Structure 1
Amino acid sequence: MTSSASPSPTRTGALRSELATYLGLAAVLVAMVLLFSTLSDYFFSVETFIAIVNEIPALAVMAVGMTFVLIVAGIDLSVGSVLALSAALSATAILQWQWSVPAAALLGLGAGVLCGAVLGSVSVAFRLPSFIVSLGMLEVVRGAAYLVTDSRTQYVGERISWLAQPWLGNVSAAFVIAVLLVIVGQLVLTRTVFGRSVVGIGTNEEAMRLAGVDPRPIRIAVFALTGLLAALAGLMQAARLEAADPNAGQGIELRVIAAVVIGGTSLMGGRGSVVTTFFGVLIIAVLEAGLAQVGASEPSKRVVTGCVIVAAVIVDTLRQRRRGG
């Protein structure tokens, strides 16, 4: 007689697939570290790894939000602009309006939530592809960042730099916050009704609607969450540079999407993991650091990174076809 506590074959297969994903990403990460350690005498060092760790918080935080967006079969190209606007508003509030640092930070975070909520609302209300809406939002928000700063970098100084200062050993507080957000994001995705609804909407939105779940507020909430995390990333970057640059974050949306896709989140929606996204962030960071240490030119780095993105998309497509078949 089969025990009722025994896991179902479907559950067992899912666990095996998840474990295989973790092991595969870990193997890729280790292989890259070994490769660059062979090509460069200075790569395999504590200094290099600390530099990588302190470089990735903004990317990791934004990737958490993008994971949720891709799981609901959406996309947000405006996150880099939201990053810039959040930092610009916070810096302007501190320097010109004489606001306290906490109040200025809340202003920046609020602006991020508003941008994401507007993007999601427009996309849902008019049934427009989020790709198109976020492309327009990218320009609107970037323009707002230029207007707020008068197109000039705002030098805040040490008032917000604590976020980027060493906290545990030489690891910054921003990295610790990023890791905590990855853990919280994974728990929300896998252990809450909201997270299960996100996956369900990405898998079959019509089935969720027939089951009595309204997808619209959940979609808007996902985009608002992504805007919030992009704004937090802006504060982290401003803390590291001790300045807010209206040009900050240009092109970072492609790195964010690349990290999420490399981590195994499907571009078609319905499948993803925040933890594997973090592996994707580490892979992108190690790749960029390794290419820099071996003396690769900026165009060469872009070519290699682009090829990695295409390869990740091909792998995802083949995986989808295999499951469909």
Structure 2
Amino acid sequence: MKGSSAFSVKSIVNNAGIGLALLLLILFFSVASEFFLSPNNITNILTQITINLILAVGMTFVILIGGIDLSVGSVMAFAAVIAGKAITLPGLGTTELILLAILAGLVAGLICGLVNGVISAYWALPSFIITLGMLNIARGAALQVSGAQTIYSFPFAFEEFGSKMVFGIPFVFLLALALVAIAWFVLNRTVFGRLIYAIGNNEEAVRLAGHPVFWYKVAAFTICGATAGIAAIVYMARLSIASPIAGIGFELNAIAAVIIGGTSLAGGRGSVIGTLLGAFIIGVLANGLILIGLSDFMRQMITGVVIIIAVILDHYRAKLSSS
């Protein structure tokens, strides 16, 4: 119990530091641009970070076990194409088409994540290499299934879901927050979540204790794939298209949100609340830099510097934790 309490205190301290960094960014951009705190711009930020946040929630599970998933952007595109094909089928009612599309997108993402997990866990292969292969497989499959064409003309009710507001907050962002809440509960209040952390800290000890490490690792990758499927549905609803070239580079933004949020690349340490704050930092930074007139090249450079700083800080946090 004592260890659990200490862990919680450390987690709160880490998240407080990330929250302070986010607050400083908000203060800076609110002074630098009169438009930054406008209601329209705040809505834009919430909408823009939604897909990255959804992907990053799944990525948190994978990184906590000491893995990485480079395929989520391509898996999102593949799931979107599969869902796009389903929602444009003739002879079905609107409700049936929407439900079929959501199910098809989720299953497509889940299967890709399951394959990643089974291969990397069964043969004990680096997930970096396996998911790099899946990145190409999923992208090629998306192009093949769609004939390299963008799919569009979705039912109005589905497109409306992407622009719906609830008390002035984008509904898709509230959906992402709900996923964060579910992930927090799973990681902090279930045996499964505790074992995800334990595998990242000491996989062999978990195995010797009699727990099926293989299935827990597969589950982490499957969750990551499923969130890519959810991101695909949100992407379709927001933009009213399903493009086979969607999601290029999205995996890097998701990984960046997790790392900036304080989750260790070595696994075993971090939180989904930190991931939420990390996604906000990336979103606020991207939006604010546009408002103050920096070029796209400068924005990429500054975002890269922030990621490197986050990794360096993680290195020192790991040293402090072990001392």
TM-score range normalised by the length of the shorter chain: over 0.9
- Structure 1 position 172, deviation (Å): 2.1
Structure 1 CA distance for aligned equivalents of residues 158 and 25 of structure 2: 34
Corresponding residue of 2:103: 106
Range 112-121 or range 39-48, more displaced:
39-48
Match status 1:218 vs 2:216: yes
Corresponding residue of 2:270: 272
SS at match of 2:165: strand
Structure 2 CA distance for aligned equivalents of residues 159 and 140 of structure 1: 32
Task: Name the TM-score, length of structure 1 as normaliser.
Answer: 0.94
Corresponding residue of 1:315: 313
Corresponding residue of 1:153: 150
Structure 1 CA distance for aligned equivalents of residues 247 and 80 of structure 2: 10
Structure 2 CA distance for aligned equivalents of residues 271 and 17 of structure 1: 10
Contact 2:80 2:105 in 1 (8 A): yes
Corresponding residue of 2:60: 67
- Structure 1 position 186, deviation (Å): 0.4
Range 168-177 or range 78-87, more displaced:
168-177
Contact 1:63 1:257 in 2 (8 A): yes
1:249 aligned to which of 247, 250, 264: 247
**Number of residue equivalences:** 318
Range 70-79 or range 16-25, more displaced:
16-25
Structure 1 CA distance for aligned equivalents of residues 5 and 116 of structure 2: 38
- Structure 1 position 94, deviation (Å): 2.0
Structure 1 CA distance for aligned equivalents of residues 88 and 100 of structure 2: 12
1:162-173 pair list within 5 angstroms: 162-173=160-171
Q: Indicate how the Cα distance of structure 1 residues 98 and 251 shifts in structure 2: closer, same or farther if over 3 A, else same.
A: farther
Contact 1:163 1:172 in 2 (8 A): no
Corresponding residue of 1:120: 117
1:56 aligned to which of 35, 49, 56: 49
Structure 1 CA distance for aligned equivalents of residues 91 and 212 of structure 2: 43
Unaligned residue ranges in structure 1 (runs of 5+) = 1-6
Contact 1:156 1:244 in 2 (8 A): no
CA distances 1:180-214 after superposition (whole Å, capped 9, x unpaired):
11011001001101101111111101000110001
Q: Indicate how the Cα distance of structure 1 residues 209 and 226 shifts in structure 2: closer, same or farther if over 3 A, else same.
A: same
Structure 1 CA distance for aligned equivalents of residues 185 and 83 of structure 2: 30
* Aligned residue identity for 1:137: M
Contact 1:153 1:246 in 2 (8 A): yes
Task: Name the TM-score, length of structure 2 as normaliser.
Answer: 0.95
CA distances 1:251-292 after superposition (whole Å, capped 9, x unpaired):
011100000001110100011111111011111100000011
Structure 2 CA distance for aligned equivalents of residues 30 and 179 of structure 1: 19
Range 27-36 or range 14-23, more displaced:
14-23
Range 16-25 or range 223-232, more displaced:
16-25
Match status 1:91 vs 2:84: yes
Q: Indicate how the Cα distance of structure 1 residues 26 and 84 shifts in structure 2: closer, same or farther if over 3 A, else same.
A: same
Structure 1 CA distance for aligned equivalents of residues 8 and 98 of structure 2: 45
Structure 1 CA distance for aligned equivalents of residues 313 and 200 of structure 2: 19
Corresponding residue of 1:140: 137
Q: Indicate how the Cα distance of structure 1 residues 203 and 97 shifts in structure 2: closer, same or farther if over 3 A, else same.
A: farther
Contact 2:43 2:170 in 1 (8 A): no
1:186 aligned to which of 184, 187, 205: 184
Range 57-66 or range 16-25, more displaced:
16-25
Match status 1:299 vs 2:297: yes
* Aligned residue identity for 1:148: V
Structure 2 CA distance for aligned equivalents of residues 295 and 36 of structure 1: 12
Corresponding residue of 1:3: none
- Structure 1 position 27, deviation (Å): 1.0
Match status 1:23 vs 2:16: yes
Unaligned residue ranges in structure 2 (runs of 5+) = none
Contact 1:91 1:156 in 2 (8 A): no
- Structure 1 position 19, deviation (Å): 2.1
Q: Indicate how the Cα distance of structure 1 residues 317 and 294 shifts in structure 2: closer, same or farther if over 3 A, else same.
A: same
